[in-house]
Structure 1
């Protein structure tokens, strides 16, 4: 994610929020909180991470290049490679 500072800031904010939510989940478990409350907060963490990942992929689509292992030149990612990125988040 090079260049799009607004997108980078949005991703960092989402990740920081997820980090705080995860700390809350850990605390809830340590306190012996109700399973339903813990799972609800854990789902919120998962959604926050998914949104951050989708933002990274969506922003990076314009910049997605890979270096060819054979000759060291950069090339655009194939549709299959981009699809793999999306599926990794699914």
Structure 2
């Protein structure tokens, strides 16, 4: 079972909303809307996706990493390395 299972419906709702926002941005570009208005919408989508990412990361840490840490050994080390890499990717993006 994945750590996000309990939040799956909320995550899917947020992702569908972001998908709709991206389609709206594409329409804005097609319709030659004002650059700043488009950038405002890009920022909103970015924040929405960041919220999804942080929720998934939180679930991963509290479920997968915590479980592996309790188990200890190489499994714990791998999960911690994996979490660190995911955090680094989020910070760089």
Give the TM bin, normalised by the shorter chain. Answer: 0.7 to 0.9
Gaps of 5+ in 2: 69-73
Question: Using the alignment, how far apart are the partners of 1:2 and 1:81 within structure 2?
Answer: 15
For 1:41 and 1:24, the matched residues in 2 are separated by 8
Query: RMSD over aligned Cα, in angstroms?
Result: 2.2
Judge conservation of contact 1:29–1:38 (CA < 8 Å) in 2: yes
TM-score, length basis structure 1? 0.77
Work out the CA distance in 2 between the residues paired with 1:82 and 1:30.
39
Q: What's the TM-score once normalised by structure 2's chain length?
A: 0.75
- 1:16 has 2:16 as partner: yes
Q: For residue 40 of structure 2, what is the aligned residue in structure 1?
A: 40
| Superposition pairs of residues 1-90 of structure 1, within 5 angstroms | 2=2, 4-61=4-61, 62-64=63-65, 75-76=75-76, 77-78=79-80, 80-90=81-91
**How far apart, CA to CA, are the structure 2 residues paired with 1:3 and 1:83?**
17
Partner-residue secondary structure (3-state), 2:75:
strand
Q: Following TM superposition, where does structure 1 have runs of at least 4 consecutive aligned residues deviating by more than 6 angstroms?
A: none
Aligned length: 82
Q: Which has the higher helix share?
A: 2
